[in-house]
Structure 1
Amino acid sequence: MSNATTVLSRLIVPADLAIIDAAVKPVTTLVPREGVFPGYADGVVALALPVMAYWSYSSIFHVMDVLKLAEGHRIHPTEEMLKKNRATQFEVVRDVIFQHIIQTITGILAFSLDTQEYTGYENSEIWTWRQVVPSIVPTWLLYITYWYLLSGARIFIAFVIIDTWQFTLHRFMHMHPFMYKHFHSRHHQLYVPYAYGALFNHPLEGFLLDTVGTGIASIVVKLSQRECIVLYTFSTLKTVDDHCGYSLPFDIFQRLFPNNSIYHDIHHQHFGIKYNFSQPFFTFWDSLLGSRFSGTDAYTDKNGRMTLDGYHKFLQDRLDKRRKVATEYHAEFHEISGSEDEDDSPKNPVNQKKNQ
């Protein structure tokens, strides 16, 4: 038996195929849908699993940080993280926990308004498809499409909606000084991002950007509670990964999505703070609206992908240029002023006032 056949056999219930191929439409008998995890409602899992995933996944990166298990894959040295970040680890953990509390309470209220989900109608709907779809299309493909491909398509559309929502709000907060100063600047206290700081935000920003944005996507696409489990958990893991501080060759998120830890790290640096607003999945809004940072384009590999080595070279070249400019400036200043110390120079406005 081939691997493909083995996978299909696990995704398909043979008895269902026989019912779908029958001449008579199957009877629909609705019964309440059981949770994917026995004993727990899917709505509860959709709220709890993302929080568990956040701390579990970020803890892996934290252990890597503390034990220095992957220093060769770090975007910035540990010393730089400790030196440049302005928020303490206690503040970060406290604020993330607070956001999770707000997120969970909002979810409880939302799911309390949701109606009971039922099952038992699916084979009848696929049977209806079978009557109109040409017989050249096998029944098993209709089954896979109904149960899995359509769910995948809905979740993908939700990805696009989340990206659109977060890009718009994120860019708005950067373009308006009041919004940046009072709300979004909190997140940028982490100049060098790390995993469990992914949701370190002002509470209002966190609520609007993440909780409301993901909720809107779920409602617009009409996701089931099980699909919400996938969307919420996957989005959480992706957000943590974007802030993890590592570029890892085996990281599936960084391989699948162009919007990855390096792409988002550029946004956290002072030279890229007005660029790379897209998050958390794609980069098309930055490309369409001209906010994609292009300064690293010359450092990509032959496939146009920004590697860690390329990014490090960009950062080093940029640092070397700044040092060269600073050296030339000081040399020119000393030549003009005749002073070895800029603070002692008579050209210094402070000293001019003292001499008056």
Structure 2
Amino acid sequence: MMESYLSQRLATKLPDMWTDEMMALWVPIAIYWIQCSLFEMLMRLKLPFFEKYRIHSSIDRSNRNRVSFANVLYMVALQHVLQFIFGYFLLKVEDPASRALKTSLAIHNSAQWILAHGLTSTQLARNIAWALHTLVIPALQFVTAMFMIDTHQYVLHRLGHTSKFLYKHFHSHHHRLYVPYAFGALYNHPVEGFCLDTVGAGLAYELTGMSPRLGLILFTFSNLKTINDHCGYAFPWDPLNVCFGNNGVYHDIHHQPWGIKKNFSQPFFTFWDRKLGTEFDANELKKRTALKST
């Protein structure tokens, strides 16, 4: 009897890990560790087919980096714990039925508005309203959130380099990795990691008003993109390399002593680097690549 009572109390206290809100917290973290583990295994196996796409050699990784692999794992885990706790206490779990009802009402109201402004087909008006609320608006929210994350990270990232105090005490931690690898994507000082990644993504999520499910996709995609930028490989068939100019090669430049004051943009676009004159000159990169290959 007592065991049954305790089980019921425990069940009421524990959150449902499969709600959209809770999944938006833990799924991106789980995927980060899985994806990084795959890249780490690839680096350690040194398979010839993949080694030709490696940006730096394994010797470079061992000799040039100034932080141990164990310390990187510890700091990334700490950032994820802080991120989860922060998100959990801000979490507002909404009943799925209530959320579905709100969406249904929004579609209905939009269809009525469309009908009131000249469209005579009720079914067409409903289809347009459905597409608006399930496709168009989420797509706009997603792209807007990407732009907001980029803007937030560019400003703080550049400030971390221009301020001697911020660089010495915070951002220099990340630049102990002269040869980036996947797990190092979120290797930061805890304060910087919180301000740069957790707060930036959280603000984009809140200000765009996106759904928890779309937030789950955004956070996961942002993690995968950040991992890709630090993975240490430049695969020509990788969709993230093809679709985004801000990729592994672009960000690797920023981790080198000769490129550390350039290529601040991350993780998606190169817009702010181009507009504000901080993009590394492509011709200079070609010269350095040619010298390296000779």
- Normalising by structure 1, we get a TM-score of 0.71
Which residue of the other structure, out of 188, 202, 217, is the alignment partner of 1:201? 188
> 1:125 aligns to what?
106
For residue 89 of structure 1, report the CA deviation from its aligned partner. 0.3
**Larger deviation, residues 135-144 vs 79-88:** 135-144
Aligned pairs for 1:101-180 (under 5 A) are: 101-112=81-92, 118-133=99-114, 134=119, 139-180=126-167
Q: Give 1 or 2 for the bigger CA radius of gyration.
A: 1
Partner secondary structure for residue 73 of structure 1: coil
Percent identity of paired positions between Structure 1 and Structure 2: 41
Deviation at 1:314, TM superposition (A): 2.7
Q: Which residue of 2 aligns with 1:53?
A: 31
Corresponding residue of 2:68: 88
AA paired with 1:314? R
Q: CA RMSD in A?
A: 2.1
Q: C-alpha displacement at 1:140, in angstroms? A: 3.2
Which consecutive segments of 4 or more residues in structure 1 shift more than 4 A?
114-117, 135-139
In structure 2, relative to structure 1, the CA distance for the partners of 1:192 and 1:63 (3 Å cut) is same
The equivalent residue for 2:20 is: 42
Identify the residue that residue 73 of structure 1 maps to in structure 2: 53
- Counterpart of 2:259 in structure 1 is 272
Paired AA for residue 21 in structure 2: G
List runs of 5+ in structure 2 lacking aligned partners: 1-15
3-state SS in 1 of match to 2:233: coil
**Residue 297 in 1 paired to residue 277 in 2?**
no
**Alpha-carbon distance change, 180 to 319 in structure 1, aligned in 2, over 3 angstroms:** farther
Distance across 1 between alignment mates of 2:158 and 2:102: 44
1:315 to 274, 289, 292: 289
Return 5+ residue gaps in structure 1 as ranges.
1-37, 300-309, 321-356
Which of the two has greater helix per residue?
Answer: 2
Cα shift at 1:81: 1.1
Corresponding residue for residue 181 of structure 1: 168
Superposed displacement of residue 132, structure 1: 3.7
Matched to 1:220, the amino acid is L
1:258 Cα deviation from its structure 2 partner: 1.1
Cα distance, 1:197–1:316 mapped onto 2, change above 3 Å: same
One of 270, 279, 282 as aligned partner of 1:283: 270
